[in-house]
Structure 1
Amino acid sequence: MSPLLQGLVTILIGVGGCVGYFYGANLMLDRVIFPARGRDPGANISRANAVRPWLFMAPAMAALGLYLVYPVVGSFWRSLFNRDGGSFIGLGNYTDLAADPAFRTALFNNLLWVLVVPAASTFLGLIAAQLTDRIRWGNIAKSMIFMPMAISFVGASLIWKFVYANEADIGLINAIRAGLGFQDPIDVIQIPFWNNFFLMAILIWIQTGFAMVILSAALRGIPDETIEAAILDGANPFQIFFRVMVPQITGTIVVVWTTITILVLKVFDIVYTMTGGNFGTQILPSYMMSYMFKDDGRATAVAFVIMLIVLPVMVWNIVQARKEMR
């Protein structure tokens, strides 16, 4: 069967199965389980309406249970065994992680990424959104700033690898140093601690465009009356921006910040491509990868730790989104 025909058959089966399920479920609920007849048809109709949403959500809940809940529970259970999965060791993998200096370094670096990248990306995106809305060639500027979003993390890392190259003929930083009179080139991605910030700059470069687009739409949604009132009250441009406009888009800023935070906690490509986790740049995903093929129990424990770190951010984001909808 050709791929095109196979795709069409899959779509037909999927759509037909969904339609058949919902039609059959409605039919059985209304005519067999809670028929609108008998001594109290009104009560049966109320019961059917109460059950109907759960009946419609059942396929999605089953899929989530199979592809989300089951892997999480299975991963946690796997993390309680030794490297070959033959012996139950309880929380031994987690205690080994806590005692491992490399894990503590990876955790510290991850916290640095979480503190710096979302804040810098959101701030630069906010400034870019405001400035590009006030110039004639703003759309061209937005396109240029957003363009890195179209590049994969690996591709962006390779681009910046040339920027950071320790040769003045290739690396931009060493070319600038050579122009200032410094003769000895340096490899910035091998400088302990500070090399983490050079790697963060890559993700900031990518995510600033995303933040700019979302925040630009939010800024355009601010009522003109509030800005005009601030101007009449004698507010200067900085006061209008930071005290009038920014407070009105706080919800959007929070959404952008949390979205980038979740992305940062899962980033792997940049570190793996640039340094492979060496030179003190190890983060939790790259640390997990280093144990993936030699100690499955510890790698699974690291994956569960990453999930526990991401979970509060996601829950907080959902709570804030619900508050915005009220």
Structure 2
Amino acid sequence: MNISDLTDRFGLLAVGLIAFLAILMALYGLAELASRNNRSRWVAVVFLSPAVIFLLVGLVYPALRTLTMSFYSGDGSEFVGMDNYTWAVTDPGALKTLINTAMWIVIVPLLATAFGLVYAVLIDGRRGERTYKALVFLPMGISFVGASIIWKFIYQYKASGEQIGLMNQVMTWFGASPVNWLNSSPINNFLLMVVLIWIEVGFATVVLSAALKGVPLEIIEAARIDGASPSQIFWRVTVPSIRSAIVVVAVTVFIATLKLFDIVRAMTGGHHGTDVLAHNMWDQAFRLGNDGRGATMAVLLFLLVIPVVIYQVRNMRRQELEAR
């Protein structure tokens, strides 16, 4: 890249920044004029209009465009109707991708939330609780790609010689033969899930630990006086009291799992029966050049999110009504 190209790019950047500042100042000016005339509705319109425009351009239009593309051929030149969706539910490779995604969105949120809840209960009120939380939360500071590389070394396989992968080295110590874990289906799917669970348990622990501290001690003491055992207190008092926090954690991990791309891409590239929807969507559209099938996978991904969003909205409304 020569100096003239750099100058042109910096010039475009400067023009963009100046235009952005000009628009921002114009919006503030309009809002100030509207507020002087006590027109609160116009103030709201002025401040909300940029967000609405960005939402339409950056979310609504791409979503409609993706839906349209899913009914066309790979190069977008021919209308094929439901052929892409038929392929998604009949092709063995596509079916394997859907099955893998279903396993991920069931197992990972369930185990991450369960482990986070158990860990939060075990450390609640203990000496060094902050240290325990920090230790389990540390993986959240690692990118998905970084965590994938760490765990790829743990699963590393060598056909002969000294093993550098932790799991295979332990197996050889006990006289067993090393296993190519990431190439062995279906166990490789569960080994990939371990990575995401390891990352998300910290988030679950922190949120659920904060929720546990909000459980009234009077209820727990009353349950003990009535002769309830620790397990009964946990299942009949603690868990119902923090139900909303458990739902939030499970939904958040569910959405993170549904968008999963980095771990699969970095560890297996979607090969050996480990492909999932988000990765297959990218694979179809960018590597294989089939925009129709890539858009179809994107639509299926969107359809899986809708029930969770509806449930969460209803749950929030119910909580608001209960709070009143």
For this structure pair, what is the TM-score category when the shorter chain's length is used for normalisation?
Answer: 0.7 to 0.9
Contact 1:153/1:270 (<8 A) preserved: yes
Partner of residue 85, structure 2: 94
Q: Does 1:268 align with 2:261?
A: yes
Partner of residue 291, structure 1: 284
Distance 1:69 1:137 in 2: 48
Deviation by residue 1:125-181 (Cα, 9 ceiling, x = unmatched): 111111122321221111110000000000000000011112463212112212222
CA-CA distance at 1:95 after TM superposition: 1.9
Q: 1:300 aligns with which of 295, 299, 305?
A: 295
Distance 1:242 1:316 in 2: 23
Tell me, what secondary structure is at the counterpart of 2:311?
Answer: helix
Structure 1 residues 286-295 or 240-249, which shifts more?
286-295
Partner of residue 20, structure 1: 29
Tell me, what secondary structure is at the counterpart of 2:67?
Answer: helix
Tell me, what secondary structure is at the counterpart of 2:164?
Answer: coil
Q: 2:101 aligns with which of 89, 94, 110?
A: 110
CA-CA distance at 1:16 after TM superposition: 2.5
Distance 1:7 1:237 in 2: 62
CA-CA distance at 1:24 after TM superposition: 4.1
Q: Does 1:181 align with 2:175?
A: yes
Partner of residue 3, structure 2: none
Gaps of 5+ in 1: 31-47
Distance change (3 Å), C-alpha of 1:10 and 1:305? same
Contact 1:262/1:314 (<8 A) preserved: no
Q: 1:193 aligns with which of 179, 186, 211?
A: 186
Distance 1:84 1:322 in 2: 44
Partner of residue 33, structure 1: none
Q: Does 1:72 align with 2:81?
A: no
Structure 1 residues 15-24 or 225-234, which shifts more?
15-24
Structure 1 residues 297-306 or 110-119, which shifts more?
297-306
Distance 2:232 2:18 in 1: 60
Partner of residue 231, structure 1: 224
Partner of residue 150, structure 2: 159
Tell me, what secondary structure is at the counterpart of 1:292?
Answer: helix
Q: In the alignment, residue 199 of structure 2 is paired with which amino acid?
A: I
Distance 1:197 1:25 in 2: 58
Contact 1:288/1:299 (<8 A) preserved: yes
Write out aligned runs for 1:35-54 (5 A). Answer: none
Tell me, what secondary structure is at the counterpart of 2:278?
Answer: helix
Q: How many residues align?
A: 307
CA-CA distance at 1:209 after TM superposition: 0.2
The sequence identity of aligned pairs, in percent, is: 41
Partner of residue 208, structure 2: 215
Relative to the length of structure 2, the TM-score reads 0.86
Distance 1:79 1:261 in 2: 25
Distance 1:206 1:286 in 2: 19
Gaps of 5+ in 2: 1-9
Deviation by residue 1:10-62 (Cα, 9 ceiling, x = unmatched): 775464343224334556785xxxxxxxxxxxxxxxxx86x875665444333
Q: Does 1:82 align with 2:73?
A: yes
CA-CA distance at 1:224 after TM superposition: 1.1
Partner of residue 37, structure 1: none
Partner of residue 197, structure 2: 204
Distance 1:298 1:120 in 2: 32
Distance 2:13 2:51 in 1: 27
Contact 2:264/2:279 (<8 A) preserved: yes
